[in-house]
Structure 1
Amino acid sequence: MTNRTQLKPSFNIQLEALRGVAALLVVWHHVIFHRFQLDPNYMPTGAAAFNAPGHFAVMVFFLLSGYVIGASQREPLRVNQVGMYLKKRFTRIYPIYLLALLAGLAVAGFSYSWEVVAAHLIFANNDVLTPTIFENNPLWSLQHEVLFYLLFIPLSILRARAWLVAIVSILLSILCLSVDPTGTGALVSRYCVGFAIWSTGWALATVHFSTNPPQYTKLISALLLFVCIEPFNLFLTIGEKLTQFFTQHPLGLNVARWPIAIVRPLDLLTVPYAAFIVMQFIHVRPNRAMKLILLMLQLLPLYTFKYIVQHPNEPQIAALVIPAVCYVVSTLLFLLPSSLVVEKASQWLIHNMIPFGAISYGIYVIHFPFISLFHQINWFSGTAASFVFRSVLLLVLTLAASYLLEKRFQPWIKRRLF
């Protein structure tokens, strides 16, 4: 190890800012995507109708989860360590999950059957067996997380290479989808895709890290790219075009259900940008080839961006104003030398985002019951003012509940288990 790089990453406080932004983007996404949920009689239009990249944020969470597990478990697990590993994961996930599930059931008036509740209690909620309750539908990803934590145990004991695990997971996802694009095949394919993304994060924990101070301007650039990349992801655009082509020209393949089943495999096309964003925060020291790849990833959205310039009057363009501005600023910060003033301002912004990361899990699992509850309240509804008021109240309630869950309830549980 030199004075510039190290193999084992220490705790990275800046990574908390990324977690916080990811969680808030999920909230933003659900407010816009689930029309008339927050306000049953009003939806924003124009630039305010921008749908934040909530699903992409979940993919970033998967990648971050794999990275954190890989970074905290540098040496292969031993059989006598499995119990403590499971205990730590259980303490971190389940108590808060249980309260979030209870909140969703309460908002639903406890109208779900005991079979549905039991399935959620053991993380058996999925599209085939038991759908996730709508009143807290973000809980679908927790089932995936738990499965990934369990898969890590034998793979780590067997000293599997993270990059190889990711590649095999991708191949298995394609195979399962090809054999059975509906039902079990599609379900297994979805898990394989998620685990491939999770394993990519695990693999990132094995590379060399720079010990130099972070460039906060680059971190802000990455966060702005995070906000805007979903409509500008050229890889995703190509994947969607290919899916459309093969649906219309099947070439002997069974693709009748691919437009539905392919939703998860297309998530693999978000990995380059998810990894790019995370790499800025974990201070990976790139070589010359990697620097060129990162530059290419930053500039590729220009191809999609030009569509906005060429079609300024199309109705859907208004909703791209926010991501377009974010992309321009992100690219300028990425390419141009940073002044001391800009660097200090960026550092201030990152440090003020860190507290949101400390309660990001709580934000993720508790915000949707509040949205569902607001949907049941018709008072002060139907105007832009009511939507803004409800949005602010949603944020306040979510942050307060998340703080209580993460900073009061979870430590209380931990003290009694350890």
Structure 2
Amino acid sequence: MADIDQKTHAIYDTRLEGLRGLCALIVMLAHFLLFNFFHSFKIPGFSFFAHLEFAHEAVLIFFVISGYVMGINHLNEKYNFANVVSYLKKRALRLYPIYLIALLISFTFDTNNGFSVTQLIGHLFFTQEFLVKTISSNTVLWSLSYEVVYYILFLGLWKSGKNVPKVCLVLSIAILIFISIGPELTIVKSVLIGWLFWMMGLFSSQQEKKTVAAIRGKWGSLFSYFSIILSIHFLGTGQLLIQALHFHGNYVFNVQIGDLLYLLPCFIIIVTITGRSVKYLHVAKIISFAIPAFHIFLLVYFRHHLLSNIDWVYATLYFVLAVVCLPFNFATSFFEKLNNVGRISYALYTFHFPVFYFLNIFLQKYLSGFWLLFTGLFCWAVITIFLSVGTERVLQPRIKKYFFAKA
């Protein structure tokens, strides 16, 4: 249920927060498995768990959520100097305290690259990926530089007032045209692709809300669209699109041309969870299913053996699961149960990787096998939860209270 925080007047949706929590958990799972922390490659059933992750797509969903939250919390406010200053102040206080602590941890214990003043300054001003390389001890920080750009770009959208949905659509078309010009993926194009996801969230926030009964009821085939994302992910359909369009340099930046294939499934997930009514949503659903279906058809048509590639096997199973689950309804309780995880998701996101990184280096000197895995995960959970709860539930409220006491 969406409710109002009486202290900040911000609209709070437990289901949306639960989605944020799920995405944070997915990112942590992926990093634990795919970076071989505590020798995760040796875990029995590693392949199965590895094929449950969609970390990159979870970050794209974060972008959509961010755009949606900015829309419901600020577009109903008048665009003026006082409100803009208040908005920038809130964004800075939300990001910077936890971010600074994460930077302190990351740079203090980075044993591979050592301390670099230039890199530190670049991170302090959120220019990682733009001017400096993201520090290897905390690779997730790349997304925060993109996020800051979107917060700034939002000011122009906010000024357009009631025309925000139309402006978002026009800008989206313009961005798609711009991206298609030339075969190279530049940092500007990468940021703009991510902004499409962010604007989709903003656009969703301005759509009509369904009835209370509909919101409290079932979500229909929401589970199917998570399966579609997994199917596209493991089919590698994004790379197929890149090859078809003859793009180059796609591996240089974190947000890629192929990510456009996730735009509609992410949009469907967000409007379904938030109970927004969107015209022609059924068209978006059909296209979402058509993307992996067409890729599987191509594999079969050109006589590729699906069983010869484990990723294709899982991708096909996820597509079948999406089709099978389409007629069924799924209650909202699952996401609501993850609400508390969502409340600390930003801290979990920024702290989990450096804790993994440093514990892995330290514990491997003394432990191996089961005890390395058990001790590593236990210590990681204790430290990460302590940092996340301490910063999100203790430090952040006090900082917020201090700076907004007069307001």
User: TM-score scaled by structure 2?
Assistant: 0.81
Equivalent of 1:390, from 359, 367, 376?
376
Equivalent of 1:380, from 359, 362, 367?
367
Distance in 1 (alpha carbons) for counterparts of 2:101 and 2:344: 15
Alignment-mate amino acid for residue 308 of structure 2: E
Aligned residue number for residue 232 of structure 2: 233
Equivalent of 2:257, from 242, 253, 265?
265
1:324 paired to 2:317: yes
- Shift of the 92–380 alpha-carbon distance from structure 1 to 2, 3 Å rule, reads same
Distance in 2 (alpha carbons) for counterparts of 1:215 and 1:291: 21
Contact 2:16 2:335 in 1 (8 A): no
Q: How far did 1:257 drift?
A: 3.4
- Shift of the 328–216 alpha-carbon distance from structure 1 to 2, 3 Å rule, reads farther
Aligned residue number for residue 252 of structure 1: none
Contact 1:22 1:60 in 2 (8 A): yes
1:161 paired to 2:167: no
User: Is 311-320 or 71-80 further displaced after alignment?
Assistant: 311-320
Contact 1:40 1:382 in 2 (8 A): no
Q: How far did 1:187 drift?
A: 0.9
Identity %: 25
Alignment-mate amino acid for residue 144 of structure 1: Y
Aligned residue number for residue 189 of structure 2: 189
Aligned residue number for residue 350 of structure 2: 365
- Shift of the 298–169 alpha-carbon distance from structure 1 to 2, 3 Å rule, reads closer
Distance in 1 (alpha carbons) for counterparts of 2:83 and 2:150: 17
Aligned residue number for residue 19 of structure 1: 20
| Runs of at least 5 residues in structure 2 that lack an aligned partner in the other structure | 1-9
User: TM-score scaled by structure 1?
Assistant: 0.79
Contact 2:191 2:255 in 1 (8 A): no
Distance in 2 (alpha carbons) for counterparts of 1:286 and 1:168: 19
User: Is 40-49 or 78-87 further displaced after alignment?
Assistant: 40-49
Contact 1:20 1:357 in 2 (8 A): yes
Contact 1:234 1:304 in 2 (8 A): no
Distance in 2 (alpha carbons) for counterparts of 1:149 and 1:120: 17
Aligned residue number for residue 6 of structure 2: none
- Shift of the 123–176 alpha-carbon distance from structure 1 to 2, 3 Å rule, reads same
Distance in 2 (alpha carbons) for counterparts of 1:176 and 1:359: 35
Query: Which protein has greater RCO, CA pairs closer than 8 Å, 6+ apart?
Result: 1
Equivalent of 1:294, from 266, 285, 297?
285
Specify the SS of the correspondent of 1:123. Answer: coil
- Shift of the 235–207 alpha-carbon distance from structure 1 to 2, 3 Å rule, reads farther
The aligned runs of 1:103-122 (5 Å cut-off) are: 103-109=105-111, 111-122=114-125
Distance in 2 (alpha carbons) for counterparts of 1:312 and 1:392: 38
User: Is 43-52 or 77-86 further displaced after alignment?
Assistant: 43-52
- Shift of the 395–42 alpha-carbon distance from structure 1 to 2, 3 Å rule, reads same
Once superposed, what is the RMSD of the aligned Cα atoms? 3.5
Q: How far did 1:174 drift?
A: 5.2
Distance in 2 (alpha carbons) for counterparts of 1:191 and 1:305: 30
Specify the SS of the correspondent of 1:88. Answer: helix
Specify the SS of the correspondent of 1:11. Answer: strand
- Shift of the 352–319 alpha-carbon distance from structure 1 to 2, 3 Å rule, reads farther
Distance in 1 (alpha carbons) for counterparts of 2:222 and 2:239: 24
Distance in 2 (alpha carbons) for counterparts of 1:197 and 1:59: 7
Distance in 2 (alpha carbons) for counterparts of 1:411 and 1:391: 29
- Shift of the 281–239 alpha-carbon distance from structure 1 to 2, 3 Å rule, reads same
Aligned residue number for residue 250 of structure 1: none
The aligned runs of 1:343-358 (5 Å cut-off) are: 346-358=331-343
- Shift of the 236–162 alpha-carbon distance from structure 1 to 2, 3 Å rule, reads farther
